[in-house]
Amino acid sequence: MQSLTSFFKLAFAFLAIFATTSFSTAIAGAFGLRGDASDVKVAVDTTSKWEGYSYTCTKSSIEVREEGGKWYMKASCPKMDGKTFLKSTLDLDNCYTNKDGMLFEHNHGNFSETCHKCALFSYASGFPNEFTCICDPLQQTADPVHLHTTIGNNDGFLQCYDNKASLVA
């Protein structure tokens, strides 16, 4: 049974190589190498596109909080050297929008104007990357968005689209 499981993991990794532009991200995902950066056994290309923060950023450092009516994500992520970590804060209004009570990826979407009671939680992966809110006009919990498909690690800084996070002192 163990050899069959290994075969499927290898097959998934092979298929993932062709389905993504980031070979190392595909391998890390296929073998469940997420969480703290110390868990990552391959060098992850953090410059190819802004997704996959969950493959490099420290799991225990990730938090989402409300401040002044807006929602922010904070995390500690490694720079390209793999040794230095930066803590940065990203304004999630730059990454998501509310359309008819549902959250969607969108550059400068300003969802905070119409959404409240947001929460970050872990789903099957055990990694905190699911984000949901109660949004107008539905006033019910929106289906979660998967933060790691929009937000990435750009040399230690969280980033979505052309929006780079601010360094936390």
Q: From the CB of residue 139, how many other CB atoms can be counted at a distance below 10 Å?
A: 9
**CATH code of residue 43:** 2.30.60.10
Note whether residue 50 is domain-resident: yes
Number of domains in the chain: 1
Domain range for 146? 34-167
CA 136 – CA 154 distance, rounded (Å): 32
pLDDT at 132: 93
> Is residue 105 included in any domain, yes or no?
yes
Closest CA to 46 of 166, 151, 129, 163: 151
Residue 1 forms part of a structural domain: no
What is each CA distance from 129 to 5, 145, 153, 169, in whole angstroms?
A: 26, 8, 14, 24
For residue 124, give both structure tokens.
């099957």
- Reported as half-sphere exposure (CB side, CA atoms, 13 A), residue 67 has a value of 10
45-85 residue pLDDT tens: 333 445 688 888 888 788 899 999 999 999 999 999 989 99
Phi and psi at 50, nearest 5°, equal -90, 80
pLDDT over 50 (residue 23): no
Q: What is the pTM (predicted TM-score) of this model?
A: 0.68
Q: Is the pLDDT of residue 17 over 60?
A: no
| 98-156 per-position pLDDT tens digit | 999 999 999 999 999 999 999 998 876 677 788 999 999 988 887 899 898 899 999 99
Taking the C-alpha atoms of residue 33 and residue 94, their distance in angstroms, rounded to an integer, is: 28
Mean pLDDT of the region 7-33? 37
Does residue 118 belong to any structural domain of this protein? Answer: yes
CB 52 within 8 A of CB 153: yes
Q: Which two tokens stand for residue 30?
A: 């296929």
Considering only CA atoms, give the Rg of the chain.
16
For residue 128, tell me if it sits in a domain: yes
For residue 135, is it within any domain? yes
Most confident of 14-23, 31-40, 136-145: 136-145
